[in-house]
Amino acid sequence: MLIIRRRVGERIVIGSNIEISVASATKKAVRLAISAPKGIPVLRGEVHDTVVAANVAASTGLIEEEETPDDEEEANLDVAGQGSR
């Protein structure tokens, strides 16, 4: 891992087509401006981790499907959502 100190307005270039610049900084947070080609996804770490976990769960069949009413129950419901008599 490379650790670089940058000031507001300074930038880091990755390869020839990704640029990260420091937009603003306070004692609690740093705002980064990221310029990358449309084909390269740019995600916050926590969003990336959630997407990866969801993909793993989907590929291993760990995601529970939504319950759907049985065909018989569905046939007994009319348009207003009340059971038939």
- β-sheet bridge partners, residue 77: 83
* Cα distance between residue 24 and residue 14, in whole Å: 20
pLDDT of residue 18: 96
* Cα distance between residue 12 and residue 33, in whole Å: 10
Number of structural domains (the chain) is 1
- Percent of the chain at pLDDT > 70 equals 72
76 assigned to some structural domain: no
Q: Tell me the mean pLDDT per 10 residues along the chain, length 85.
A: 94 96 96 95 94 90 60 48 46
82 assigned to some structural domain: no
Structural domain for 54, as ranges: 11-64
29 assigned to some structural domain: yes
- pTM: predicted TM-score of the whole model, two decimal places: 0.61
Dump pLDDT digits (tens) for 34-47: 999 999 999 999 99
5 assigned to some structural domain: no
